[in-house]
Amino acid sequence: MKYSGWPEKGDLVVGKVDEIEDFGVFVDLEEYEDKRGLTHISEVASGWIKNVRDHVREGQTVVAKVLEVDTGSQQIDLSIKDVNEHQRKEKIQEWKNEQKADKWMSIAFGEDVTDEQYGAVANALLAEYGSLYDGFEQAAIHGMEALEDVDLEEEEKRAVVDTARENVSVPYVNVTGYVDLRCPASDGVDHIKEALQAAEGEGEVPDEVELTVAYVGSPEYRIKVRAPDYKTAESELEASAERAIASIEAADGSGNYHRERSEEDE
């Protein structure tokens, strides 16, 4: 997707070197429709420059900072030297992500999607998440819930979610905790089984979270959680342990939660 508007002063933009002159470099902006910027020779690199071609080449992809924008004269002044390596890598990755999201839009709505529909969906996702990529990533993680407040038709939301879950690689984290469960009653084994079922939280665990409970060695059980981020993972891990402990205590048993495996089981 290319923006029809103009970049703003201070923005970082991705461009391709189109033409090199003695006085500077013309750069076609990859993210904007029919927009071209000029990097004066003094903004190409730090220090004295004898030959601009020693620093850039035609066809090279660069990241530049927008110094000034004059829509009246259709002029955009850029600086390549004002972008450090960290900023360059981040901006290039962001640009690549948006290119991926652009392809996902075609998958979701077809290669012949109209400009009107594309624009409506893209603007709705941008309004909520700031970028198409982030919108698809959240849809992959949280499903329809992620698009609850997005101004789209239900079938459009479903198309985004289905495409996201087919194509987006979501970063996941894993955390582990342990719960000790004891019940002195004659039917204590049954109560412990009920406590473990409570720990698994059928119907209570979000779709994007994987939670498993496994036997380690009496009275210890391992809870493993796989989630999109540590905050969610830790929250679900603690909730699982709390459900188990509440269940066993209701049967006059006892339980406690800990993050490390018991020493006697090492």
The average confidence (pLDDT) of the chain is 92
Residue 1, pLDDT > 90, answer no
pLDDT of residue 258: 92
Cβ 76 vs Cβ 26: under 8 Å: no
Cβ 88 vs Cβ 64: under 8 Å: no
Cα gap 166→6, rounded to integer Å? 33
* Residue 262 DSSP code: P
Which band of pLDDT confidence, cut at 50, 70 and 90, is reported for residue 189? very high
The residue type found at 101 is A
pLDDT of residue 182: 94
User: Which is more confident, 154 or 202?
Assistant: 154
Q: How many CB atoms lie within 10 A of CB 22?
A: 8
- Which one, of 112, 119, 108, lies nearest residue 164 by Cα? 108
* Residue 25 DSSP code: E
Walk me through the domains of the chain, giving residue ranges and CATH numbers: 12-82 (2.40.50.140), 87-167 (1.10.150.190), 173-265 (3.30.70.1130)
Q: Is the peptide bond before 219 cis (omega within 30 degrees of 0)?
A: yes
Strand residue runs (E) in 99-250: 173-182, 210-217, 220-227
pLDDT of residue 221: 95
pLDDT of residue 265: 46
pLDDT in tens, 162-188: 999 899 887 788 899 999 999 999 999
